[in-house]
Amino acid sequence: MKLTQEQIERFERDGYLFFPGLFSPEEMAVLKAQVPSLYAQHRPEIIREKGSDAVRTVFAAHLMNEGFAKLGRHPRMIGPAEQLFGEPVYMHQFKVNGKQAFDGDVWQWHQDYGTWQADDDMPDARAMNVSVFLDEVNEFNGPLLFIPGSHKAGALAASHDLSTTSYPLWTIDERTITDLVDRGGIVAPKGPAGSMLLFHSCLVHGSPSNMSPWNRTIVYLSLCAVSNHIRRFKRPDYIAHRDFTPITALADDCLTDRSVRIAELPLAQPA
């Protein structure tokens, strides 16, 4: 997948690109079928909501499950990041964020690079998220909220929230958010399962709780330019990966081609 010049300019202006329905229902069905077995496990890589058994995040699913391993090498996910950075990328982080019906909690306003810089000593913001919706995302089930153009502010001052939710985050204060929204507004990309988002690691974003009866599951590949790899290793390696090997993309039909196999899944549980 190759971005057009107009798309590149839009990404530079707004900090994100949205591709509704880029993946087919058949491709998403392959991945959705893997989710229940992941959620049923109790292990350090799987974070649950405070006071609930509802899954908030599954880290490193691409090291546990072949379907997600294929997604982590999918050319539609990898190609745009390589194009924008002008070099190969590695997987800094892979996660399945499950904002479960009625139980999915808020993600406060933050920049991902703020955490990657503070916790992992990532030198520059030459990293981005490429995400795909496994469920339809609508206005009721906790869509992502973006502040367009906020990535141009660079890395913003943030405080380490260790208590509000079940996962610690470097969050941005309300005054700064108000100023950014006054300039850029707020958007909430919504669309069917299979929609793909690219967004800059400095783009300020968050999401409200899910009060609806519909799950909202989104998979995130956090891709970093290989030359920009992290220098600090204080977080578990299933959260901030230490393998800086450039990703080699598979064929475009890898999700539905059963002959494509991933040789090693280091975190997979024994059969």
Rounded to whole angstroms, how far apart are CA atoms 81 and 222? 10
Q: How many helices (H) and strands (E) does the chain have?
A: 7, 12
For residue 256, pLDDT beyond 60: yes
Count of domains in the chain? 1
* Residue 143 forms part of a structural domain: yes
So what's the pLDDT on residue 80?
98
Q: Which sign does the torsion angle of CA 199, 179, 56, 112 carry?
A: positive
* Residue 51 forms part of a structural domain: yes
DSSP H/E element including 30: helix 25-32
Strand partners, 16: 199
Per-residue pLDDT, averaged over 110-139, amounts to: 96
For residue 54, pLDDT beyond 70: yes
Closest CA to 184 of 148, 153, 156: 148
Mean pLDDT of the chain: 94
Q: Angle CA(72)–CA(106)–CA(46) in degrees, nearest 5? A: 45
pLDDT one-digit tens code per residue, 169-215: 888 999 999 999 999 999 999 999 999 999 999 999 999 999 999 99
pLDDT one-digit tens code per residue, 161-176: 766 665 778 889 999 9
Q: Enter the pTM of the model.
A: 0.94
Instruction: Specify the range with the lowest mean pLDDT, choosing from 21-25, 31-35, 101-105, 163-167.
Output: 163-167
Residue keyed to tokens 């509802």: 54
So what's the pLDDT on residue 271?
46
DSSP H/E element including 99: strand 89-99
For residue 156, pLDDT beyond 70: yes
* Residue 242 forms part of a structural domain: no
Per-residue pLDDT, averaged over 95-112, amounts to: 92
So what's the pLDDT on residue 165?
65
Residue range(s) defining the domain that contains residue 147: 15-228
Per-residue pLDDT, averaged over 34-49, amounts to: 94
For residue 237, pLDDT beyond 50: yes
* Residue 243 forms part of a structural domain: no
Which CATH number does the domain housing residue 55 bear? 2.60.120.620
* Residue 85 forms part of a structural domain: yes
pLDDT tier at 263, thresholds 50, 70, 90? confident
* Residue 116 forms part of a structural domain: yes
So what's the pLDDT on residue 264?
86
Per-residue pLDDT, averaged over 239-259, amounts to: 97
* Residue 1 forms part of a structural domain: no
Question: What distances in angstroms separate CA 77 from CA 121, 139, 251, one per listed residue?
Answer: 24, 25, 12
* Residue 24 forms part of a structural domain: yes
pLDDT above 70 coverage of the chain, percent: 97
